[in-house]
Amino acid sequence: MKKTLLVLFGLTLMFGACTSVKPYQKSRLNDSEMQLTARKVEKTENSFQTYREASSGANGGKTGGGCGCN
Amino acid sequence: MRKLCLSIVGIFLFCFGGWSQSSSSSDDYKNLNLKVEDVNIVSGYYSQNGNHSAVTGGIGTQKLTDVSNTIDMKLVKYDILGRKHNFNIEMGLDHHTAASAQYVSTTGASRAGGTRFYPSFNWQVENEEKKTTFGLGASLSSEYTYHSYGLNILFAKKSKDENREFTAKGTLYLDAVKMLEPSELRPATTTVITSASSNGHSGGDNIPSSARNTFDASFALSQVINQRMQVAFLTDGVIQQGYLGLPFYRTYFNDGSVHIENLPGSRLKLPVGMRMNYFLGDRIILKSYYRFFMDNWGVKSHTVSLEAPFKITPFVSISPFYRYYIQTAANFFAPYGMHTSNDQYYSSDYDYAAFSSNYEGINLRLAPTNGVFGAKGFSALELRYGHYRQTTGLIANNITMNLTFK
């Protein structure tokens, strides 16, 4: 319960700190290194980690189907 | 409890309140012709070694190499209503050699190499006025012992100021696992088959298949925090049903008998993740990722990774990265010779053992405005190398190259 409250408190602080950023202010956010999805060059490592570990998902990649891994 | 509920409701109201914020509409020229936006070629080489092969019951070599190549092309066009259509066509081809695959046959006579072919097609239509995206996709993956058909549907909505985006995606995989069993456990009628992974091996069509179906509901919420920071929350709800093991994975019991691994017929997975990227100063970016994972097989894991791209120039960056992963064992896992005949489910596949792993490496990215090596159209070159170590003794190296053409 304490952990949940702590996480919620953290999220509230984070979202509370949001500022409206105009398109012309997004030069840093639009940098190719700043993208929030896994990049194409990370594809093969996401794949082998899915095979060699029991966990997958929450990273935009495969979650267990479509290949010989589970 | 009431306060907790109010907090959750408050956060979501705060988040989704942003949908009503206004912004200027775009009157840019829309190209009605289909044009190639970019082409990516991704090539990788992976090698591993260890001493806990599942084919031989949790002992024996895990030596494996894999060469992978994918090419994808993104095409874009606008329709007369001003909606943007994205078409993504991808073709992938992997070839692997696995030393343990030889021992599907007890004599070591099985072929150790195999090829996987996996094309996919995705279409998305984006309404830039309404800030919505709708998409459909299909994929195929084919190798000697495994075939998969995938379908997906996607919906995304951006806030008016484009500082927030919510994405929901549903994916269905209909897979078929060929029931290629170890030679000593195989029914006499199919003894001609000795390979786990070779393409076109004679008699392969006679092997029966078992179904494995996966449904994934995936959700993501990304949010701009300020001019330097953005975050994303990601989660999947995954249900798998059918034959979830592999038929050539042996399990040795404590009485010396050998069996094919036997896993439960369904699995529910729940990963929850968060990414946070921060642009520190003018040259350094901090990229962090955390994921908690749990399933109904008893596996719980934590993943933390950090990458710090350093911009040597605006177009050249070098990024050291590190990833730490730790998992608990699945309920049915036990090492070689430890299972008993009382066990309902059993496996000695070390992917389900309790272990931790470290993965570190470096990424180099070149994206000069006049093209890589001065070649116009060759817009970016990325090279990434990583070294992986598990506490089970498994060691792996992975190198990937991505070439982007625009």
Q: Model-level pTM?
A: 0.87
- Residue B261 in domain: no
- Check CB contact of A7 with chain B, cutoff 8 Å: no
Q: Out of A12, A34, A58, name the one closest to residue B234 (CB).
A: A58
Taking only Cα atoms into account, the Rg of chain B, rounded to an integer number of angstroms, comes to: 24
Question: In this model, does residue B329 exceed pLDDT 80?
Answer: yes
Which residues from chain B sit within 8 angstroms of residue A7, using beta carbons?
A: none
Please report, in angstroms and rounded to a whole number, the separation of the first and last CA atoms in chain B.
Answer: 54
Residues B112 and B222 in one domain: yes
- The residue among B96, B141, B180, B221 with the most chain A CBs within 10 A of its CB, best to mutate, is B141
pLDDT in tens, B36-50: 999 999 999 999 999
Give the Cα-Cα-Cα angle B122, B73, A32 (nearest 5 degrees). Answer: 95
At B205 the pLDDT is 59
- Cβ(B143)–Cβ(B115) below 8 Å: yes
**Cβ(B245)–Cβ(B175) under 8 Å?**
no
- Interface check for A10 against chain B (CB to CB < 8 A): the answer is no
CB-based contacts of B145, cutoff 8 Å, min separation 6: A68, B114, B177, B178, B180, B196, B197, B246, B248
pLDDT tens digits, one per residue of B343-363:
999 999 999 999 999 999 999
Q: CA-nearest residue of chain B to A66?
A: B148
The answer to whether residues B72 and B219 belong to one domain is: yes
Distance separating alpha carbons of residues B304 and B274, to the nearest angstrom? 10
Examine the fold and report which residue of B209, B233, B248 is the final residue of a domain before the chain moves on: B248
Q: What ipTM was predicted for this assembly?
A: 0.88
pLDDT of residue B207: 80
Residue B258 is assigned to a structural domain of this protein: no
Kindly tell me the sign of the dihedral angle through the C-alpha atoms of A8, A14, A17, A21. negative
Give long-range contacts, CB 8 A cutoff, 24+ apart: B204-210: B204/B144, B204/B178, B207/B178, B207/B179, B207/B180, B208/B178, B208/B179, B209/B147, B209/B176, B209/B177, B209/B178, B209/B179, B210/B176, B210/B177, B210/B179, B210/B242, B210/B243, B210/B247
Rounded to whole angstroms, the Cα distance separating B241 from B260 reads 18
Of the residues B201, B231, B248, the one at which a domain ends? B248
The answer to whether A13 faces chain B, any CB pair under 8 Å, is no
Task: Tell whether B158 is covered by a domain.
Answer: yes
Rounded distance between C-alpha atoms, residue B251 and residue B185, angstroms: 12
Domain termination residue (choose one: B248, B263, B283): B248
Task: Say if residue B102 is in the same domain as residue B152.
Answer: yes
pLDDT confidence of residue A67: 58
Instruction: Say if residue B138 is in the same domain as residue B59.
Output: yes
How far is Cα B156 from Cα B148, in angstroms, rounded to an integer? Answer: 26
Query: Which two structure tokens, joined as six digits, stand for B214?
Result: 């996966």
Helices A2-16 & B2-17 angle (0-180, nearest 10): 30
Same domain, B71 and B211: yes
A53/chain B closest Cα distance in angstroms: 5
- Quick check: A33 and B285 CB within 8 A? yes
Structural domain including B310 reads 275-331+354-406
Q: Are residues B41 and B100 in the same domain?
A: yes
pLDDT of residue A18: 82
CA nearest B140 in A: which residue?
A: A66
CA atoms within 13 A on the CB side of B253: 14
Residue B152 belongs to a domain: yes
> Using one digit for the tens of pLDDT, what is the confidence trace for B154-189?
999 999 999 999 999 999 999 999 888 888 887 766
Asked if A52 has any chain B CB less than 8 Å from its own CB, the reply is: yes
Structural domain count, chain B: 2
Question: Considering only alpha carbons, which residue of chain B is nearest residue A2?
Answer: B4
DSSP B339-394: B-TT-SSBB--GGGS-EEEEEEEEEEEE--TT-GGG-TTEEEEEEEEEEEEETTS-
- List, in sequence order, every residue forming a beta bridge with B89; answer none if it has no partner: B73, B121
In a domain, B375, yes or no: yes
* Domain match, B73 and B155 both: yes
Contact between B68 and A66 using a beta-carbon 8 Å cutoff: no
Report if residue B14 sits inside a domain.
no
B244 and B280, same domain (yes or no): no
pLDDT score for B292: 97
B131 found inside a domain: yes
How confident is the model over A7-50, as pLDDT tens digits? 778 777 777 778 889 999 999 999 989 999 889 999 999 999 99
Q: Is the pLDDT of residue B111 over 60?
A: yes
Residue B224: which of A29, A52, A63 has the nearest Cβ?
A29
Asked whether the beta carbons of residue A70 and residue B40 sit closer than 8 angstroms, the reply is no
Which residues have a Cβ under 8 Å from the Cβ of B140 and sit 6 or more positions away? B117, B118, B119, B120, B147, B148, B149, B150
Instruction: Note whether B326 and B301 are within 8 A (CB).
Output: yes
Which of B144, B164, B319, B382 best probes binding to A when mutated, by most A CB atoms within 10 angstroms?
B382
Domain shared by B312 and B372, yes or no = yes
- Residue A23, chain B, CB below 8 Å: the answer is yes
- Count of other CB atoms within 10 angstroms of residue B216: 24
Looking at the domain assignment, is residue B21 inside a domain? no
Of B333, B326, B329, B330, the C-alpha closest to B356 is B326
Do B97 and B210 reside in the same domain of the chain?
yes
Same domain, B401 and B282: yes
Same domain, B80 and B174: yes
Share of chain B above pLDDT 70, in %: 88
Q: Which residue of B has its CA nearest to A55?
A: B293
The token duo for B201 is: 């091996």
